Chains A and B, each alone.
Chain A
Amino acid sequence: MSIEWYVVLSSLLFAVGAMGILIRRSPVVILLCLELMLNAGNLALVAFSRMVGNQEGQVFALVVMVVAACEVVVGLGLIVAIFRRRLPLDVDELRELRG
């Protein structure tokens, strides 16, 4: 399979993840969709690294994984804090920051 297939698959997964963020209301699921998008990005990086022939893309993908992990940690911490304060876990309900 040529590299194109992998990159197109990555675009498809990215689009699915974007759609998920727009549709779902639970913060946990939104973070999961964010993971989808990050992984789609990883797939594209690794594909390109294979295309070029060196491992720099793979190192990039590793760093992306680290960042994703950090972001998940903080995001989930937020969700736990929201849950602790007995607020509804629904991004449509949490909208006091508005004009």
Chain B
Amino acid sequence: MSATTYAWLVLLFPLLGSIVVALGFRALPARVAGAIGTAAIGLAFLCAVGALVNLLGQDPDARHHASSLWSYASAAGLDIKLGIYVDQLSTFMILVVTGVSALIHLYSFGYMRSDEGYHRFFSYLNFFVFSMLTLVLAGNFVMLIVGWAFVGFASYALISFWYRRGTATGAGMKAFVINVVGDIGLVLAAFLIFRELGTFDYGAVFAQAPEAFQRGEWTITAICLLLLVGAFAKSAQIPFHTWLPDAMEGPTPVSALIHAATMVTAGVYLIARTHVLFYLAPTAADVGAFVGLVTLLVAGTIAIAVTDLKRVIAYSTMSQIGYMIMGVSIGAYSAGLFHLMTHAFFKALLFMAAGSIISAMANRQDIDRMSGFWRAMRFTSAMLLIGGLALAAFPGTSGFFSKDSILAYAETRGGMYEWMAIGGYVGAFLTVLYTFRLIFRVLPGKPCPEAQELIETGHLYHAAPENPATGEAEDTEVGFPGAEHHIAEQSRPMAVAMAVLGVGALFAGLVQIPGVTDVLFGFLEPVFRDSPLAAIHPSVGHEWSGLAVGAAIALVGIAFAWLLWAERPSLPAAFRARLRPVYLLCLNKWYFDEAIDLLIVRPALAIGRFANRTFERVVVDGLVSGTAETVRGAGGIVRLAQSGFVRSYALLLVAGFAALALYFLLSSS
């Protein structure tokens, strides 16, 4: 079978899984539904591997194929096909997506077991994977937008999965609205592309763009800025990032899949795919790099201050995506994608371990209450530690190689990008700090009551179900996190999934050791060959010196974190008191939510109120009711003629006849 056939199958299996689980939700028992959902993604992964194998068997320069099922719209100059584009980049992405998704489905098989909405969960999750694969495999901008929108919807459905929680539905709406803002940018960019080039097809657009646009011309800059709007909204970069922390209202597997490994990386993929256009618009590319840099620093500072376990990891995601966005914006395409892959592994692992810990904590997420889990849950703690080491870029882990490949490229490019590299190293130090703040708070020390219960009895701590954010009580009968919780130590599927990811987090970096192995970059190189930026390669020595700096930062950071949060817990409190305004700024997420509320939400509400009070009530209602009243008034006037007096009727009769006769007399004279 050809690579494109494999690719169509990759799209087909998750869609079928979603439909089968959805339609059979009454008939299928829970375990079967979960098995079908997981198997669907497993099959998709196998087909992705098949596509890869098929591609590897071809000549490296000819590894790009387009295939379309049918023509979606062809009239008046439009020619949109339902088509996919299979090349090294999309194959890489579908491998990452299906691989991590399969493991997360396996994890959910155990984690969501006692949830009322089990079937719905797997159906939505499969649909999400299908949408993400559509986005990644799309062969033209229309299919890209279709996948983009579906992914946004799937994210909304999964964030507000526990829909009886007010906080969850609010978060879902927030995510969806901000995603739609990004969608607008993407759609406008597609319109502009069509207007300038007359086609939506990737191959045609990327071939014609260098001839059609001057480098730095305002049209192509506008297109790229609009594409960036879409990318930033989807990838939670400033200022479109406020939805990501709130998205932690969704179940932990959702956070792992969507908000760590796949959906938020769609922006990175977009910029990498359209790198030809970004090369022609250096201003836009610099904007992207700058925003990525700002995001990674701001998110890092916030992550040090917040105390909700999942939110720390969420801000960490935002920060790491900032690295990736910065990377692909400055031209380090393959490096950015390398970091995307390793980040998918260790971030999903972190979320999975966090899910296990939250289960042990009876659904509470406040790290101030957690301690001593190293003794209570060995396996989960080990996984948390592995994920944390990879995130902090500890020497030898996958994150170590991937993060520093981006920073080394930035330094090599020189000029202002060196400053970006320095900012990246500062961000790396922040990363180590907040990661190990987390680890040294949760793992060592005297076990908290929940952990104590686990150590002594082997059972999980039970508490009345309540919303972790607001503390209000909840009813587990209607699909909230079920009455039972599941931890990795007691659930085989969860443990297997985490173990595989742990292996990936530790060893995935070995495919790209500078000077030794070049598996990934070599594979991806033909895709980016048409960009002069990709020809810049840091020398091997330069790379190793960057790696050394990274290693130093990691080790110093871990030591510093140990000092602050394990040895002398009073120090952080002292810092907080001395730098109170700074602390408050970070804790309140740099007041972005408040700013958006003031600048956008309130004016919109005011406009709505004005529209209702003035326009709707006065103008529209006035017109409609006014018409009715006028008619009624006219009727009332006409009714006066119905007096009941026969003689007045007779008068009208005679008068009418006289008038008629007059008319005929006049007209005949």
Q: Do chains A and B touch in the complex (CB under 8 A)?
A: yes
Which residues A59-99 have CB closer than 8 A to chain B?
91-92, 94-99
Across the interface, which residues of A come within 8 angstroms of B639, CB to CB?
99
Across the interface, which residues of A come within 8 angstroms of B646, CB to CB?
91, 94-95
Q: Establish whether residues A92 and B650, one from each chain, have CB atoms under 8 Å apart when the complex forms.
A: no
Across the interface, which residues of A come within 8 angstroms of B654, CB to CB?
18, 22
Q: How far is the CA of A23 from the CA of B648 in the complex (A)?
A: 10
A25 interfacial contact with B, CB 8 Å: yes
Q: Which residue of B642, B647, B650, B651 is within 8 Å of A99 (Cβ)?
A: B642
Q: Which residue of B641, B645, B651 is within 8 Å of A92 (Cβ)?
A: B645
We find that the number of chain A residues with CB closer than 8 angstroms to chain B is 13
Chain B interface size band reads 10 to 19
Q: Establish whether residues A98 and B650, one from each chain, have CB atoms under 8 Å apart when the complex forms.
A: no
Instruction: Pick the most buried of B641, B642, B647, B650: most chain A CB atoms within 10 A of its CB.
Output: B647
Q: How far is the CA of A23 from the CA of B645 in the complex (A)?
A: 12
Q: Establish whether residues B644 and A96, one from each chain, have CB atoms under 8 Å apart when the complex forms.
A: yes
Q: How far is the CA of A92 from the CA of B647 in the complex (A)?
A: 8
B643 interfacial contact with A, CB 8 Å: yes
Q: Which residue of B641, B642, B647, B651 is within 8 Å of A91 (Cβ)?
A: B647
Q: How far is the CA of A18 from the CA of B654 in the complex (A)?
A: 8
A21 interfacial contact with B, CB 8 Å: yes
Q: Which residue of A18, A21, A91, A99 is within 8 Å of B645 (Cβ)?
A: A91
Which residues B627-663 have CB closer than 8 A to chain A?
639, 641-647, 650-651, 654
Across the interface, which residues of B come within 8 angstroms of A22, CB to CB?
647, 650-651, 654
Across the interface, which residues of B come within 8 angstroms of A98, CB to CB?
642-644
Q: How far is the CA of A97 from the CA of B650 in the complex (A)?
A: 15
Q: How far is the CA of A18 from the CA of B646 in the complex (A)?
A: 13
Which residues A23-78 have CB closer than 8 A to chain B?
23, 25
- A97 touching B647 in the complex, CB below 8 Å, given contacts A18-B654, A22-B654: no
Q: How far is the CA of A95 from the CA of B644 in the complex (A)?
A: 5
Q: Which residue of A18, A23, A25, A95 is within 8 Å of B643 (Cβ)?
A: A95
Q: Establish whether residues B650 and A21, one from each chain, have CB atoms under 8 Å apart when the complex forms.
A: yes
Q: How far is the CA of A40 from the CA of B647 in the complex (A)?
A: 21
Which A-chain residue is minimally distant from B639 (CB atoms)?
A99
Q: List 27 A-B contacts (CB under 8 A).
A: A18-B654, A21-B647, A21-B650, A22-B647, A22-B650, A22-B651, A22-B654, A23-B647, A25-B647, A91-B645, A91-B646, A91-B647, A92-B645, A92-B647, A94-B646, A95-B643, A95-B644, A95-B645, A95-B646, A96-B644, A97-B644, A98-B642, A98-B643, A98-B644, A99-B639, A99-B641, A99-B642
Apart from A22-B647, A95-B643, 15 more pairs, CB < 8 Å: A18-B654, A22-B650, A22-B651, A23-B647, A25-B647, A91-B645, A91-B647, A92-B645, A94-B646, A95-B644, A96-B644, A98-B644, A99-B639, A99-B641, A99-B642
